[in-house]
Amino acid sequence: MHSWGFFFNLCVTEDFASPHFTRYHPARYFVCSHVVLKIEGDEKNTNTSKTKVLPWKFTPLPLGSVRPLGWLRGELNAMASGLAGHELRFLPYVNNSRWLGGTQDYSALNEALPYWFNGLVPLAYAVDADHPSELRAQVRDVATEVLARQQEDGWIGPEVKLEDRNLWGRVPFLLGLTQLAEAEPGLWRATVVRALVKYLRLVDSMLKDGGKGFTQCGWHPNDCSWGQVRVHDFIMVIQWLLERGGVAGRDGEMLWGIMEMVYAMSAYKWENWYTEERYQQVVADATPGNPDFAFLHGVNVGQGEFLISGRRFPTS
């Protein structure tokens, strides 16, 4: 079992008072309708300025600014008191993770601990009134340990050899870090921004070296598909750094370049899938052997719909 992310990020504006359920996203549930995620402005906008990303139609509130009540509070407390709140104690994929110097994961993508972390961070700050310290202590301890293990070249994660490095497995952990920085900016924002910029400088060089870790994954080329079909999760991290992390100047230009590179390099363009010509209303083969499997995978579909409406940077 691993966590896909278990809290809510409200999208609000002065003319949007009541949230509407729900559009699934692995980092969090967005308590808003699909239209809420649509970017603001003229669709024909050809502005290529790299000063800021296009604004949300409705601005997501920072983690911790909304508290659960009633039924939702009960459900989240059940998670905190149950398996989700105790996986660090008993689940080898977490407490003996390669990310923490252990030996366990369920695949060479090394994504188990990142998924757990990305789910536990929002849960910890949603129920802190009822569980005032234990969950926050878990995420703080793991974040501290993982960032202390950041490698000299900037890589975050257990992979040492270049041929073993795949960008996708890091993304859920990076999303969790951005949420942690929003929940406790005084403690975490500077540390998170510094670590992510160092990591992204390395990513920039890898992408420019033939797409290493993104289109070239060495040991298992097919596993490149996860990072490409879910590229918008990575883009969300970059946009957070530009908007809320205060990254500008040369590093800001680098972040824009990375966004453009990963989008251009991805072999999976969701806007090309959702067309009359290509979209499969009836799927004869839903197995990984289908060349379009990446577009049929249930989690990918939810993420892909977000990308179509949530891409917030101009492209040529």
Q: Is the pLDDT of residue 6 over 50?
A: no
- Could you give the 3-state DSSP secondary structure of residue 89? helix
Tell me what pLDDT residue 284 has.
86
Our CA dihedral for 244, 248, 250, 252, rounded to 10 degrees, sits at 40
Q: Is the pLDDT of residue 267 over 50?
A: yes
C-beta of residue 118 within 8 angstroms of C-beta of residue 237? no
- Give the span between the Cα atoms of 282 and 311, in whole angstroms: 28
Q: Label residues 287-314 b or e (16+ Cβ within 10 Å = b).
A: eeeeeebbbbbeebbebbbbbbbbbbbe
194 CB-near residues (< 8 Å, 6+ apart) = none
42 CB-near residues (< 8 Å, 6+ apart) = none
Domain membership flag for residue 103: yes
Tell me what pLDDT residue 152 has.
97
C-beta of residue 21 within 8 angstroms of C-beta of residue 34? no
Q: How many domains does the chain have?
A: 1
Domain membership flag for residue 285: yes
Tell me what pLDDT residue 274 has.
85
Per-residue model confidence as pLDDT tens digits over 283-304: 888 888 888 888 888 888 877 7
pLDDT over 90 percentage in the chain: 54
- Give the span between the Cα atoms of 120 and 96, in whole angstroms: 17
- Give the span between the Cα atoms of 115 and 4, in whole angstroms: 6
Tell me what pLDDT residue 27 has.
35
293 CB-near residues (< 8 Å, 6+ apart) = 286, 287
pTM for this prediction = 0.82
Our CA dihedral for 136, 137, 139, 143, rounded to 10 degrees, sits at 130
Q: Is the pLDDT of residue 19 over 80?
A: no
Residue for token pair 């992310």: 5
Amino acid in position 214? F
Tell me what pLDDT residue 307 has.
62
Tell me what pLDDT residue 302 has.
78
Tell me what pLDDT residue 288 has.
85
Domain membership flag for residue 191: yes
Per-residue model confidence as pLDDT tens digits over 20-37: 223 333 333 333 322 222
With bands split at pLDDT 50, 70 and 90, how would you rate the model's confidence at 264?
Answer: very high
Per-residue model confidence as pLDDT tens digits over 34-88: 222 233 333 333 334 566 788 878 888 889 888 899 999 999 999 999 999 999 9
Token pair for 140: 């703080």
Q: What is the average pLDDT score of the chain?
A: 81
Alpha helix (H) residue ranges in the chain: 70-81, 87-90, 92-95, 112-126, 134-148, 171-183, 185-208, 224-229, 231-243, 249-265, 270-273, 293-296, 298-310
Domain membership flag for residue 244: yes
Q: Which domain holds residue 246?
A: 8-310
C-beta of residue 273 within 8 angstroms of C-beta of residue 293? no
Tell me what pLDDT residue 300 has.
82
Per-residue model confidence as pLDDT tens digits over 137-190: 999 999 999 999 999 999 999 999 888 899 999 999 999 999 999 999 999 999
Per-residue model confidence as pLDDT tens digits over 93-133: 999 999 999 999 998 899 999 999 999 999 999 998 787 68
Tell me what pLDDT residue 129 has.
76
- Could you give the 3-state DSSP secondary structure of residue 16? strand
Domain membership flag for residue 276: yes
Tell me what pLDDT residue 315 has.
52
Top pLDDT among 316 and 84 is at 84
Tell me what pLDDT residue 57 has.
80
